[in-house]
Structure 1
Amino acid sequence: MSDTTTTQPQRRLRFPSFTVQVLLGLGLGVLLGWIALQMGETPSGEPNWLTTTLDTIGSSFVTLLKAIVPPLVFLAIVTSIANLERVTNAARLAWQTLLWFAITAAISVGVGIGLGLLLQPGARSTLSPEDGFEAGASGSWLDFLKGLIPGNWLGIGAGTQVTTGADGAVEASTSVSFNVLQIVVVALVVGIAALRTGKAAQPFLAFNRSALAVVQKVLWWVIRLAPLGTLGLIGKAVATYGWDLLAPLGTYAAAIYLGLAVVLLVVYPVILRTNGLGIGAFFRGAWPAIQLAFVSRSSVGTLPVTQRVVERNLGVPRSYASFAVPLAATTKMDGCASIYPAISAIFVAQIFGVDLSVTDYVLIAFVSVVGSAATAGLTGAVVMLTLTLSTLGLPLAGVGLLLAIDPILDMGRTAVNVAGQALVPTIVAKREGILDLDRYASASTSNLLADDVDEATPADDEVRDATVVPAPREPVTAS
């Protein structure tokens, strides 16, 4: 008689999907932010302990994301340049990308101008010209040319900020920043040089691919913290700003968010359908990047996630995505550079009693389509707005009227920015016949952190990219 032992299989603890985790973080963040808002400031005028904690959690997550961006962009672009040697239509891909940047930006600025004229946000506001003040940040076309020239081989810079405390003490803090556009330029030059070098560059390219795999592994350890980062970011926003600031700028804020909604939920779906792509599949695939952009308010900080969803969820080949997505993150901003400056310029003109002519509206469109690249290395939408106002000859003091609610608007703007940055590479890949339609059709938010995806290597996509042959062109009709 023998003893038989039956082993019960251990039940593996199942966590909610990544999207559910982020949504839970979002809801809990709103709740904690509201509690922190009710607590108010300390007797000394400082943020309370809960606001400080939320701020620390959120800012730490964004800092981690931004820290991984420079090596990721550099390594990915150098690798993509090497892979593009095997793709016969590389130049066409680049031009098609830029063309669709311009097309979607032109449509977005048209939506902004139309809503500005229809809703008349400046005429309905209780603000006056005396309430404005000039912001410290400004933008010009010269900034674009200067921003293209790297100060060092990775576009890293440092700045010192001097502040005066309540007790009169002067404090100096040094911060390190990076210019993504400069990193793109340097990576393009290095990648092209490696191709021209030939066999001698093969060890360098092999090391580059290995380093990229390591950086991507570190990246996904950071991305797994997104639910916690979401909690901190949205909680800090609610605790700091609330919604009271919207009262005197209600019509203006409504116009901005209505314009963002029209572009995100009408314009982009029409473009998708016109190119024979499913709307639901796109939003399922791009949703992790869109939701992170909303809470983080940073296209650059969201860049690693955007690139991941474009490749893994939407089926764009890595050799093309690793070139198009970093470029889009620095120059493709339908929210910040098209809708926002168009409506804001009309708002400022109405507040200061300036009548805009047809030529002025054409200038707004031109600045929005071309000017986003001019602000790539600078501070987001405020610089873009000053560039638009200065081009039209409007008072820069109008910028100060809008800064109070800028963080609230920036959440929606950044979400639309990132949605557009995922849309254009997908559309171009579809039109050029290199989109993985099966992967696109099965796009799911859960694919982002799937184990088999996490363990993929650059070589896997390299084989797929190398064998891509553009499909025969057929007439595409809306369905």
Structure 2
Amino acid sequence: MKENNLLTAIQTNWVSLLVSLVVIGFLYFLARKRVNFGYRVLLALGLGLVAGIIFNSFKLNATSVSTIGSIYVNLIKMLVMPLVAVLVISSITSISSLGHLRKIGAKTIALFLITTGIAALIGLLVAVAIDPGSGISQSVPKDFKARAIPTFSQVILDLVPTNPIGDMAAGKVVPVLIFAIFIGVAIVHLGSRKPDAVQPVKNFIDSFSQVMHQVTKYIIRLTPYGVYALIAAMAAKYGLETLKPLLSIIVATYVALLIHFIVTFGGLVTFVARVNPIKFFRKAYPTIAVAFTTRSSYATLPVNLEVITKRIRVSPRIASFVAPLGATMNMNGCGGVWPAIVAVFVARVYNIPLGISEYILIVLVSMISSIGVAGVPGPASISTTVVLTALGLPLEGLGLVLAIDAVVDMGRTAVNATGTTVCSLLVADSEGEFDREAFNRDEEDALELDAA
């Protein structure tokens, strides 16, 4: 009897694998035809759900399909440590001098970190309130070991690096990030006095950063296939019930993004910069629209520079510094709201309790990791991986939400870009480089962007 069951399982596994190979081949064909990446991810989501529901209905074994998804998750794991380390250093060394860092840079980075921390807190509160992981439960992977709940003092001590190489090998993300911050600041400090001494290091960091960008692109290109496999395997196990948690997490994400947009950004513009928020958001609309449609902070950068200087009336000196840095480091949506919501979701799905220490760690890690992973392909996935790794949560849970990444990424990117515009205004206002009279006088800006 057992042999018959085994034979049946093997046969049905081959059926599900063959069906999946046909789907993957179709997705590859679309890629060759240069169909939009976001559309392919959404299509992979739909095909994965349909295939998984069929597998579930006919009791087909989907082990091979699940393996394909696990390969994709493992490749993401491979990226985390070298990627975040080199990009934290690269982001800091992009500031030309220590004096510049102390004056404008410190204000800018502080604002990026504070707004990202607030975004993570909002995401955390919304996730706890909506509970997007309810209705589904996954068994914890065999190699997963539950972490003992640490004390607050232990959480702080765990943030301090002891052996950076050992921390990297052990998968301790936060100490590696902090060590990278020290290296970046040291390069800027020494470079202000002995530029020739640090130039070889900067060249190496820049070169290695570009290499890691390329490796990341390779992995991100596999996303449609990974999404299909992960969702198909999940749907094969849970059937139509798969839809409920996915819809819940989309709603939770957009609720958190909207709260952050209105309350945090609106509050900073109104009470700190003392600017009419309705007028500000109307002037910033081109940035919001381009970010929402392109889903790229870098693609939005030229438009955002025009908006900041010609519509918001921030000086070009401030705009030229804050906007490019923001495209790299300011990730309120991708590095704040999203990782916090996913962390709560994954913990709920795998029935892993989170306490106050874990909630604090979510906010702190989101703030720090957003600096290093922003600006790379798929920053939200990488940032979320960092947060899950720091919390000791199963990274397999990330695969459950990657399928809806394209849906929520539009809102995340719009919040990212708008956050950079807000921070530019705040820094310029504090430095006396915001033309308030021109801002209030210009009801209609003569900008080519308006025609778009």
Q: CA deviation at 1:284?
A: 2.0
The amino acid across from 2:343 in the alignment is A
Name the counterpart of 2:138: 128
Are residue 107 (structure 1) and residue 118 (structure 2) matched? yes
The 5 A counterparts of 1:429-468 are 429-441=428-440, 442=442, 444=444, 447-449=447-449
The 5 A counterparts of 1:215-230 are none
CA distances 1:243-287 after superposition (whole Å, capped 9, x unpaired): x99654111110001000111122211111102111122212221
Separation of aligned partners in 1, 2:275 and 2:284: 14
Name the counterpart of 1:273: 270
Q: CA deviation at 1:127?
A: 5.8
Partners of 2:253 and 2:408 within 8 A in 1: yes
Separation of aligned partners in 1, 2:31 and 2:365: 42
CA distances 1:103-160 after superposition (whole Å, capped 9, x unpaired): 212221121111111111112x4463489999xxx99454783996655596573589
Partners of 1:132 and 1:401 within 8 A in 2: no
Name the counterpart of 1:366: 364
Name the counterpart of 2:61: none
Separation of aligned partners in 1, 2:130 and 2:303: 35
- Change over 3 Å in CA distance of 1:450–1:121 after alignment to 2: closer
CA distances 1:170-210 after superposition (whole Å, capped 9, x unpaired): xxxx98x9xxxxxxxxxxxxxxxxxxxxxxxxxxxxxxxxx
- Change over 3 Å in CA distance of 1:45–1:139 after alignment to 2: farther
- Change over 3 Å in CA distance of 1:443–1:371 after alignment to 2: farther
Partners of 2:318 and 2:433 within 8 A in 1: no
Are residue 294 (structure 1) and residue 304 (structure 2) matched? no
Separation of aligned partners in 2, 1:401 and 1:50: 23
Q: CA deviation at 1:413?
A: 0.6
Q: CA deviation at 1:446?
A: 5.3
Name the counterpart of 2:335: 337
Q: CA deviation at 1:426?
A: 0.5
CA distances 1:281-327 after superposition (whole Å, capped 9, x unpaired): 22122211111111111112212222221111111111111111111
Separation of aligned partners in 2, 1:101 and 1:273: 18
- Change over 3 Å in CA distance of 1:94–1:443 after alignment to 2: farther
Separation of aligned partners in 1, 2:438 and 2:142: 50
CA distances 1:380-435 after superposition (whole Å, capped 9, x unpaired): 01110111011111111111111111111111111100010111010121233220
Name the counterpart of 1:258: 255
Name the counterpart of 2:188: none
- Change over 3 Å in CA distance of 1:418–1:160 after alignment to 2: closer
- Change over 3 Å in CA distance of 1:313–1:404 after alignment to 2: same
Partners of 1:246 and 1:405 within 8 A in 2: no
- TM-score, L = length of structure 1: 0.55
Name the counterpart of 1:352: 350
Relative to its length, the structure with more helix (as a share) is 2
Are residue 416 (structure 1) and residue 415 (structure 2) matched? yes
Name the counterpart of 2:234: none
The amino acid across from 2:246 in the alignment is L
- Change over 3 Å in CA distance of 1:246–1:271 after alignment to 2: farther
- Change over 3 Å in CA distance of 1:95–1:102 after alignment to 2: same
Number of residue pairs the alignment of both structures matches? 310
Separation of aligned partners in 2, 1:264 and 1:273: 13
Name the counterpart of 2:26: 45
Partners of 2:130 and 2:252 within 8 A in 1: yes
For the aligned residues, what is the CA RMSD? 4.3
Name the counterpart of 2:282: 284
Are residue 308 (structure 1) and residue 306 (structure 2) matched? yes
Name the counterpart of 1:119: 130
The amino acid across from 1:45 in the alignment is F
Partners of 1:299 and 1:418 within 8 A in 2: yes
Question: Structure 2 stretches of 5 or more lacking a match?
Answer: 1-21, 41-92, 145-170, 185-200, 221-230, 232-239
- Change over 3 Å in CA distance of 1:317–1:339 after alignment to 2: same
Separation of aligned partners in 2, 1:104 and 1:421: 10
Partners of 1:133 and 1:401 within 8 A in 2: no
% identical equivalent positions: 30
Separation of aligned partners in 2, 1:336 and 1:139: 21
- TM-score, L = length of structure 2: 0.58
Partners of 1:151 and 1:157 within 8 A in 2: no
- Change over 3 Å in CA distance of 1:154–1:48 after alignment to 2: closer
Question: Structure 1 stretches of 5 or more lacking a match?
Answer: 1-40, 60-76, 163-173, 178-240, 452-479
- Change over 3 Å in CA distance of 1:443–1:301 after alignment to 2: farther
Partners of 1:112 and 1:338 within 8 A in 2: yes
- Helix, strand or coil: the match of 2:314? coil
Name the counterpart of 1:7: none
- Helix, strand or coil: the match of 2:420? helix
Partners of 1:309 and 1:448 within 8 A in 2: no
The amino acid across from 1:128 in the alignment is Q
- Helix, strand or coil: the match of 1:45? helix
Partners of 1:429 and 1:435 within 8 A in 2: yes
Separation of aligned partners in 2, 1:101 and 1:393: 26
Separation of aligned partners in 2, 1:294 and 1:377: 16
Separation of aligned partners in 1, 2:346 and 2:128: 12
Name the counterpart of 2:109: 98
Separation of aligned partners in 1, 2:37 and 2:121: 39
Q: CA deviation at 1:439?
A: 3.2
- Change over 3 Å in CA distance of 1:438–1:140 after alignment to 2: same
Separation of aligned partners in 1, 2:112 and 2:369: 12
Partners of 2:136 and 2:349 within 8 A in 1: no
Separation of aligned partners in 2, 1:303 and 1:269: 21
The amino acid across from 1:437 in the alignment is R
Partners of 2:137 and 2:349 within 8 A in 1: yes
- Helix, strand or coil: the match of 2:36? helix
- Change over 3 Å in CA distance of 1:131–1:400 after alignment to 2: farther
- Change over 3 Å in CA distance of 1:161–1:95 after alignment to 2: closer
